[in-house]
A and B are shown apart, each in its own frame.
Chain A
Amino acid sequence: MRREGKFWGVAQALGAGLCVVVAARADESVVNSKHDLSAQGPGPIRAVQENEICVFCHTPHNAAPQTPLWNRANPRTHYRIYESSTTEARIDQPSGPSKMCLSCHDGSMALGNVLSRPVTHPIVMTARTIPPGTKDLTNDLSDDHPIGFRYDRALSNQDRQLKAPEIVSPDLPLGAHGEMHCTTCHDPHNNELGDFLRESDQMSLICISCHDLKGWPASSHALSNKTTVGRVVDATERLKYATVGDNGCMNCHKVHSAPHRERLLRFQREEDGCLNCHSGAVASFNIAADIGKRSNHDGRRRTDVHDPTERSLTMRRHVECVDCHNPHAVEHNSIGQVAGTFGQVLKGPNFFASGTTISGRDVQQASFLYEVCLKCHGDGVRQGPSEITRQVTAYGVRAAFQPSNPSFHPVAAPRRNQDVISLIPPLRVGSMITCTDCHNSDSARALGGTGANGPHGSINEPLLARNYDTTDSTTESGHAYALCYACHARESILNDESFPLHRRHVVGQRTPCSACHDPHGVPRGSGGSVNHASLINFDLSIVTAAKTPGGSKIEYLDTGSFSGSCTLACHGVTHVNFPYSNPRQSGSRRISSRATAGGRP
């Protein structure tokens, strides 16, 4: 009895093992795959009676004059083909094996029409043609990955983000003339990997067999092990894999029937591709909350205006996530610190984003963070003057940050002005800062908040990290000029360590910093280099010209270290060549300043 039981156990185990083996084999074969259209096939679309499997595509005799003994006529469909501003390939109408696939998958021809049967007696199927849906590609192939282009060395030389064809895996065969076909990615006889793919699409392995995207292997999108649960745009859609990293390209792209044709994006609105995850659930930070703030870079306002080939001087005014971020290359900002001396070189979140250099040249790959900003804010073609009317107006901040200017904040180049003694360490004379030191989300974690770093949105206009009052008669407080005091110590300013009359102006007369200082920088105006030193560029709504014997005049003159003179009218007081110098800073510093004379901007 026991023995018998044992025998049955072994037999059952063997049987189970056999079943597993058979099942595994079935996956690798066309038999019992979705392409098994015989009456015994597994899918809903199958023959009513026909029990042969190969016959739907192949016949041993009198086949169509195409290589694999083809048993179907070619579709006569004219296809709309893929177009993109960034593709270098010449895409033709599909040919060869692709046409064979399309004979069913474009939905135009009856599935049971085979050459080995008379037209009057086709194989009777459960569905006449492939039903509408994801497998019916229709005659519109513009929302599908392009086929019918030649993938050769000439193409990979032109498109640096494609691998040279000779190093692409031989498991992904090209056509007789090196052209891409459906069969490059799909093996119609083998559904072991799902979707009849020739290579796994886990971590998008099959995609990166050809696509060599700069920065992708190390990017946080490729490496992310976050689960895709909690997406806001396509919450109900099932992704093939559980984590962002495993889904790879498919988080944002769709190879077939993509809602956004150009670049095969998964969403009609391009920002949905980002906000799907960056709305608080999948990704760490809620960008959607930031861009909803009063002052923002809200990509939701316009769709379909960004193009990777756009030029900074001719493009329409717009902002999209991809204007600043390259989703193929983004990395986590491991430093996590925005203010400071480190911000010069472009950091992770903006890796391989395009930009405009300080000299006005568009670059595909920005080297510095400010170049990303200058792409839109650099030249003022589409921007009005700043809200504050000043003596010298800089249209666009590229002019304001020029290293040849009398004075500027050290974004594009360091400064050597020894008079800036208010700096809070680690900042010091010669340090450089980034745009994001001032323009940032008010909740940025770099500022002690809990949100994402970066100028996504802020409650402080114009997209300022901290509060910055510019109206006249503002009562001085740490909050009123929090932006300035973040780097320039309030104690130093109010103790008159540099300009000896700071306290009198700022506290006594309740004059905002912006009344005298122009924060970005001042282009060389009509005067010489001494006229707009120390970022002096008066706010004309507060400071007016003084009547002098030589006529109306509004002027600041730098007369040396910690000394200068003003000619202006302000708060009912008129200064004419009113000189100042700081007695507390006399001596060695003045001499050292002279020693570096000429270098003083």
Chain B
Amino acid sequence: MMLRMAFRIVVIPLFIMMSGETPKSGFEGSKHDFRKAEWAKSDPCAVCHTPVNEKPPAMPPLWDPKADLNRTFGTPLARSAGAGSGTAVCIRCHDGTVARNMIGRKDPFISREHPGRFEAGHGRKDHPVGVDYPPIDRRYRPANAVTASGSVTLPGGKVECTSCHDPHNFSGEKHMLVMSNARSALCLTCHKK
């Protein structure tokens, strides 16, 4: 109990401060740089980029010891949801089992009860991914205007994790965003608010 309190009070803010101000841009030294991790040393890229006909590397250490091992590394979940690779690769880890999806939250990114529910709806806790970008809607900017900005991408016309996040940390923004969200510029790239 005390340990948990200490974790919440000390570690989490520390984590935020560290993650909030990523020291520099680039993949090197970023949280996705697994070269120093024992389990990925042999082929750190293979954590995400698996060569054709090759099996993924050995299981990475689990953040959550109670995680369902069979579910963690397979991606039928993502595929069933119709999400593109830009999402499927991410949620292999970021479904709350391997990597915590958000600070201080244990519950999975995607509901266990309704696997594959990405679409908008009541009770949704996360921004929808794997959904088609709205075609003509006065609440959103047109898709071509969004992609013309050069930062936000819409792979296959869909909103994916990689629309907003850059896993290689080229921009060096906090939360590995594709661009700075100062003045909520990232949000307002799509949302007309």
Contact = CB atoms under 8 A, between A and B. Distances in A.
Interface in A108-134: 116-118, 120-121
A184 interface: no
Nearest to B17: A121
Interface stretch (A63-71, A282-290, A429-437): A63-71
A121 B184 contact: no
Contacts of A54: 184, 187-188, 191, 193
A29 interface: yes
Given A31-B188, A60-B164, A65-B123, A40 B102 contact: no
Interface residues of A, number: 26
A589 to B, nearest CB: 81
A413 interface: no
A189 B187 CA distance: 13
B187 to A, nearest CB: 5
B184 A65 contact: no
Nearest to A28: B192
B126 A55 contact: no
A121 B193 contact: no
B19 interface: no
Contacts of A53: 183-184, 187-188
Nearest to A189: B193
A183 interface: no
A314 interface: no
A117 B122 CA distance: 23
Nearest to A52: B184
B181 A52 contact: yes
A66 B124 CA distance: 7
Contacts of A55: 184
Contacts of B187: 52-54, 58
Contact of A63 (B12, B126, B193): B126
A406 B93 CA distance: 100
A51 B183 contact: yes
Interface string A52-93: 111100101111111101000000000000000000000000
A458 interface: no
Given A29-B193, A118-B16, A118-B104, A69 B181 contact: no
B184 A60 contact: no
Interface in A7-46: 29-31, 38, 40
Interface string B117-130: 00011111111000
B125 A30 contact: no
Given A54-B193, A60-B164, A118-B12, A65 B125 contact: yes
Contacts of B127: 60-61, 69
A62 B8 contact: no
Contacts of B109: 61
Interface in B111-144: 120-127
A121 B16 contact: yes
Contact of B9 (A31, A51, A120, A189): A120
Contacts of A116: 102
Contacts of A58: 187
Contact of A40 (B8, B123, B181, B183): B183
A52 B173 CA distance: 13
A120 B13 contact: yes
Contacts of A40: 183
Contacts of B121: 67
Contacts of A31: 183-184, 188, 193
Contacts of A120: 8-9, 13
Nearest to B129: A60
Contacts of B188: 29, 31, 53-54
Contacts of A60: 126-127, 164
Nearest to A38: B183
Contacts of B125: 61-65, 69
B126 A67 contact: no
A145 B183 CA distance: 33
B171 interface: no
Nearest to B15: A118
B103 interface: yes
Nearest to A58: B187
Contact of A52 (B102, B126, B182): B182
A61 B9 contact: no
B4 interface: no
A30 B139 CA distance: 13
A79 B128 CA distance: 34
A235 B8 CA distance: 56
A120 B192 CA distance: 32
A61 B57 CA distance: 29
B181 A118 contact: no
A69 B183 contact: no
A423 B101 CA distance: 95
Given A54-B184, A62-B102, A121 B13 contact: yes
A52 B121 CA distance: 25
A52 B191 CA distance: 14
A175 to B, nearest CB: 12
Nearest to B101: A61
A52 B180 CA distance: 10
Interface string B28-66: 000000000000000000000000000000000000000
Contacts of B104: 118
Interface in B66-91: none
Contacts of B8: 118, 120
Contacts of A62: 101-102, 105, 125-126
A66 B192 CA distance: 20
A533 to B, nearest CB: 78
Interface in A333-379: none
A56 to B, nearest CB: 10
Contacts of A118: 8, 12-13, 16, 103-104
21 contacts: A38-B184, A40-B183, A52-B187, A53-B188, A54-B193, A55-B184, A61-B109, A62-B101, A62-B105, A62-B125, A65-B124, A65-B125, A66-B122, A67-B124, A69-B127, A117-B16, A118-B12, A118-B13, A118-B16, A118-B104, A189-B193
Given A58-B187, A118-B103, 9 more contacts: A38-B184, A53-B188, A54-B193, A61-B102, A62-B102, A64-B125, A67-B120, A67-B121, A121-B16
Interface of A: 29-31, 38, 40, 51-55, 58, 60-67, 69, 116-118, 120-121, 189
Interface of B: 8-9, 12-13, 16, 101-105, 109, 120-127, 164, 181-184, 187-188, 191-193
Sort A-B residue pairs by CB-CB distance and give the 10 closest, nearest first.
A53-B184, A60-B127, A189-B193, A62-B102, A54-B184, A51-B182, A65-B123, A54-B187, A30-B193, A52-B184
